[in-house]
Amino acid sequence: MAKVGDELSWKDLEIGSIITEPGNASQNQTGDWRTQRPTYEHSRCIKCGLCAIFCPEGCIEPNQEGFFEANLFYCKGCGICARECWTKAITMVEEEEE
Amino acid sequence: MAKRVGIEVSRSVAIAAKLANVDVVSAYPITPQTHIVEDIAELVANGELEASFIPVESEHSAMSACLGASAVGARTFTATASQGLELMHEVLYVASSMRFPIVMAVANRALSAPISIWGDHSDVMAVRDTGWIQIFAANGQETFDNVLCAFRIAEDRRVLLPVMIHLDGFHLTHVIEPIYIPDADEVAKFLPPLDYPLPLDPDRPVSMGAFGPPYIYPEAKKAQQVNLIDSKEVILQCWREFADVFGRSYDPLECYRCEGAKVLLLAMGSFSETAMSAVDTIREEGGEVGLIKLRLWRPFPFDEIRRAVRDTEVLIVLDRALSFGGPGGPVCSEIRSALYGLDKRPKVVGFVGGLGGRDISRADFREIIKRGMEIARSGSDQEFEMFGVRE
């Protein structure tokens, strides 16, 4: 597998930093500037998927049990999912230093 | 066979673009560049040059259109001056960092205000750090030759950078000079067709101008810096091969009557031709004075400058631009930095003159040299002096 992101030296770059590998934006961890993260109360979730429809990042998918959850690698913590959730199954909580 | 013709230098630039068989020209007219693009438009309209001429509503759009053309692998040319160059400013960085081999003639002109259509180097110095290769021409033949060289340098696989050829507004653009114009066959031998390695191509998709987060941006800039520094070898090689084909040779800087000179004058562009004549007169009178014509501005020729002034006591640098509130002229300040680390270095005296088309005559150059030597002798630590300004 080719080197990614912070493994690349200046000598590895294509001319003009041209990207020759399609779709490699998925390697970009957009979740690293999140200040809040969604938490879920599955007993309230009706699996309607409205949160996934509204998510501007497109990073919410059902898990193995069918509950919708955000992929925190990409989730920017905007809170739109929590705002739009009919049943108030999603609560935003502060990210805290570990 | 080359023909020697009397021709306005601007028109010779248009002919150089034609002989280079450019594919796309996008430009907006601005004095004193106008004749260059007018002539190219005419060549295209008459069917003498098979190219797309893209008229646009501003220089920002002109350079943007050049980016697009270059991205698909087209040989791309444009020209501008002064305010037009500044309006292009942000796009210039994109051209160099995306490695597009665009060639641009800049008819050097002062910046407003007060509005001035006349020549100086304020426009160039404001785009000094845009990452373009920059070459100054001192006369018509140098301008013509270096426009041809510019395509060859820019498009070399080891370079792939945009190139500016600077010619002084009016002092070069609007004068008629005898210029050797080669045949199309001769030019074709010197300048192979452009083969851009990663063009926009639906069969081989790439993303250009993508996002550069903090984890990759400095690497991109280092690559660009190394690339520009390394382009010097290719520039030198191009000039050597140009000499083999056309018999005229160029160097990053040219020393004129520097042998045994304790005092050297340094100038860029067309004014160095007048300075040569002043040096001749002083030499005839027994003065030990020489001249350095600085031709390659980016990448800056550090080694050549250091070698050229090794035995010099006083180096007088003429700038045609002012760094307001800074160390004076940009050229002088760079030369001072280049020499600072040397154990033995000349006293560097800076003058700023010839602003907004103010002429510097042969007699003025004699005065500059005389005054420069006085300042050097006095041990003054003044950064620079503005020449010829009425008190």
Compute the residue count for chain B.
Answer: 391
Per-residue pLDDT tens digits for B70-113: 999 999 999 999 999 999 999 999 999 999 999 999 999 999 99
Contact A19 B160 (CB under 8 A): no
Q: At what angle do helices B9-19 and B34-45 cross, to 10 degrees?
A: 40
Interchain contact, B211 vs A6, CB within 8 Å: no
- In a mutational test of the B interface, the residue from A4, A10, A13 whose CB has the highest number of chain B CBs within 10 Å is A10
Which of A11, A17, A21, A24 is the mutation pick for testing B, counting most B CBs within 10 A? A17
Q: What is the pLDDT of residue A60?
A: 98
Check B160 against A25: CB less than 8 A apart: no
Query: A33 contacts in B (CB within 8 Å)?
Result: none
Under a CB-based contact definition with an 8 Å cutoff, are residues B22 and B194 in contact? no
CA distance A46 to A49: 8
Cβ-nearest to B220 among A17, A20, A22: A17
Of A98 and B325, the one with more pLDDT: B325
CB burial of B154-174 (b: ≥16 within 10 Å; e: otherwise) equals: bbbeebbbbbbbbbbbbbbbb
Give the burial class of B209: count Cβ atoms within 10 A of its Cβ; 0-12 exposed, 13-18 middle, 19 or more buried. Answer: middle
Average pLDDT, chain B: 97
pLDDT of residue B86: 98
Q: Which of B99, B100, B215 sits opposite A6 (nearest CB)?
A: B215
Summarised one tens digit per residue, pLDDT across range A61-75 is 999 999 999 999 999
User: Which residue of chain A comes nearest to B208, CA vs CA?
Assistant: A18
pLDDT at A1 over 80: no
Q: Determine contact: A16 vs chain B, CB below 8 A.
A: yes
pLDDT of residue A98: 62
Q: What is the pTM of this model?
A: 0.93
The pLDDT tens digits of the residues spanning B261-317 come to 999 999 999 999 999 999 999 999 999 999 999 999 999 999 999 999 999 999 999
ipTM value > 0.90: no
Identify the pLDDT of residue B174.
98
Q: Provide the pLDDT confidence category of residue A23 given band limits of 50, 70 and 90.
A: confident
Tell me, rounded to whole angstroms, the distance of Cα A41 from its chain centroid: 19
Among B299, B331, B297, smallest CA distance to B317 is for B331
Residue of chain B whose Cα is closest to the Cα of A9: B219
Say whether B69 sits in a helix, a strand or coil.
Answer: helix
Specify the higher pLDDT residue, B213 or B144.
B144
Proportion of chain B above pLDDT 90, given as a percent: 97
Query: A with B: how many residue pairs have Cβ under 8 Å apart?
Result: 57
Provide the pLDDT for residue B134. Answer: 98
| Tens-place pLDDT, residues B304-345 | 999 999 999 999 999 999 999 998 899 999 999 999 999 999
Residue among B261, B343, B360 at smallest CA distance from B309: B261
CB-based contacts of A35, cutoff 8 Å, min separation 6: A77, A94, A95
Q: Compute and round to an integer the Cα radius of gyration of chain B.
A: 21
Taking a C-beta distance cutoff of 8 angstroms, is the pair B168, B139 a contact?
A: no
Q: What is the pLDDT of residues A73-92, one digit of tens each?
A: 999 999 999 999 999 999 99
Residue in the structure block whose two tokens are 């290719």: B234
Handedness of CA A55, A57, A59, A61 (dihedral sign): positive
Average pLDDT score, chain A: 92
Q: What is the model's pLDDT at position B88? A: 98
Given a cut of 90, whether residue B360 has pLDDT beyond it is yes
